[in-house]
Amino acid sequence: MPALAGILVMIGILGMLIAVHELGHFLAARLQGIHVNRFSIGFGPILWKYQGEQTEYALRSIPLGGYVGFPDEDPESAIPLTDPDLMRNRPILDRAIVMSAGVIANLIFAYLLLVTEVGIVGVPGGVQYQPGVLIAQVATDVSSVAAEAGVQARDIVLAVNNQPLGQAEAARDTLMQAIQANDGQPLQFHIKRQEQELDINIIPERAEDGMARIGVQLAPNGRLIRRPIQHLGELFSAAAQEFQKIVGLMAHTLGQLVGNFRESASQVAGPVGIVAIGADMARTDMTSLFQFAAVISVNLAFINILPLPALDGGQLAFLLLEGLRGKPLPNNIQEGVMQVGLFLLLGLGVFMIVLDTAKLMT
């Protein structure tokens, strides 16, 4: 697939995931009879809109999110403020259902994506190993003697000092032992790069933990073999296992980000980075986009449930305070907090776009 087509596919996927999130809010409100006057994908100037019987549907120019608008927030609305079907006049539980529905929609959609992927490509049926060790990643944020020597991601190390590494997990262990045992001593790597083979000399360096390293991430050189599903029960259970793994990984990643923000933040990708990764996957394996989209969908759910202003979690926090106080916070306080939160959220989005672009250029 051409690069431009891959980028367009990934932008479409991000737009779809945002639409699913907002559709969750929209349906949760409408199914309860709550008035909704706006449904927007994106922010900023309107590119396209349609005025329905009760709701204006719009596509806007800044694809960093979306929103569902209620007449309560519209000073030009003709609906009286005493209308029981206004969002503000509904019980806390009804409003909480609406606010949490976007997160729930993203989680359900992620599971359905995984069901589709498993139905197409099957379930894991073992690993087929090839000789050598895969260079899964070359470090860029720290000193990497491998990168300086010319090693690239996706290279396959077939031998070290003319000694074949073999295959499977044992090959990776052999290479790691050779690196750790030769601190400051040159090693000759015989590498396969696509259709060519070359020799690269690398001198491992002692890291802060006292171990000799070369600045790469190693993986066994193998590919996952999949087999067709045998019955519907296996389809849904296999998808559920994949979903559980993704949710667990997201929770672990979020915990790392909170616990060590400075180090973990450098590994976080923004919209441009996500599009670049997804476009690269689209060029090589379209079916892998199902799992990638599922990961992003779960990611959106986790981000939106955080108790931060302008996010669903922030709205739920306001509802919790209202339940504890017996009355809502004053409107001026809520509006001030939400405006600051929205400003910070958009600022973070712009910052991540600039950061991602700088990474791609370097």
pLDDT at 50: 92
Sign of CA dihedral 36, 42, 45, 49: negative
Domain stop point among 171, 195, 226: 226
For residues 243-264, give the mean pLDDT. 69
Q: Does residue 188 fall inside a structural domain? A: yes
pLDDT in tens, 200-211: 888 888 777 677
pTM: 0.72
Task: Examine the domain organization and report whether 99 and 180 are in the same domain.
Answer: no
Please give the Cα distance from 14 to 216 (Å, whole number): 31
Kindly report the CA angle at 272 between 269 and 276, in degrees rounded to 5? 90
CA nearest to 183, candidates 153, 222, 209: 209
Q: Does residue 267 fall inside a structural domain? A: no
Instruction: Identify the weakest region by mean pLDDT among 186-195, 220-229, 261-270, 327-336.
Output: 261-270
pLDDT higher than 90, residue 240 = yes
The full DSSP string for 268-314 is ---HHHHHHHHHHHHHH-TTHHHHHHHHHHHHHHHHHTSS-TTSHHH
Cβ atoms of 104 and 24 closer than 8 Å: yes
Q: Does residue 156 fall inside a structural domain? A: yes
CA nearest to 184, candidates 201, 199, 200, 206: 206
Domain stop point among 187, 204, 226: 226
Q: How confident is the model at residue 344 (pLDDT cuts 50, 70, 90)?
A: low
Average of per-residue pLDDT values in the chain:
80
Q: Does residue 256 fall inside a structural domain? A: no
- Overall number of domains in the chain: 2
Q: Does residue 198 fall inside a structural domain? A: yes
pLDDT higher than 70, residue 261 = no
pLDDT at 4: 63
The residue segments making up the domain with residue 44 are: 3-119+293-361
Is residue 53 part of the annotated active site? The answer reads no
pLDDT at 56: 92
Q: Does residue 233 fall inside a structural domain? A: no
pLDDT at 275: 47
Task: Examine the domain organization and report whether 113 and 132 are in the same domain.
Answer: no
Domain stop point among 226, 251, 278: 226
- Portion of the chain with pLDDT greater than 70, in percent: 80
CATH number at residue 146: 2.30.42.10
Q: How confident is the model at residue 278 (pLDDT cuts 50, 70, 90)?
A: very low
Q: Which of the following is catalytic: 22, 205, 208, 242?
A: 22
Task: Examine the domain organization and report whether 157 and 113 are in the same domain.
Answer: no
Q: Which residues are CB-contacts of 353 (< 8 A; sequence separation ≥ 6)?
A: 270, 271, 272
Task: Examine the domain organization and report whether 146 and 220 are in the same domain.
Answer: yes
For residues 141-169, give the mean pLDDT. 82
For residues 235-255, give the mean pLDDT. 84
pLDDT in tens, 69-114: 999 878 888 888 889 999 989 999 999 999 999 999 999 999 999 9
Q: How confident is the model at residue 280 (pLDDT cuts 50, 70, 90)?
A: low
Q: Does residue 196 fall inside a structural domain? A: yes
Which 8-state DSSP code applies to residue 215? S
Please report which helix (H) or strand (E) contains residue 163, including its range: strand 163-164
Please give the Cα distance from 204 to 186 (Å, whole number): 7
- Side chain identity at 50, as an amino acid letter? Y
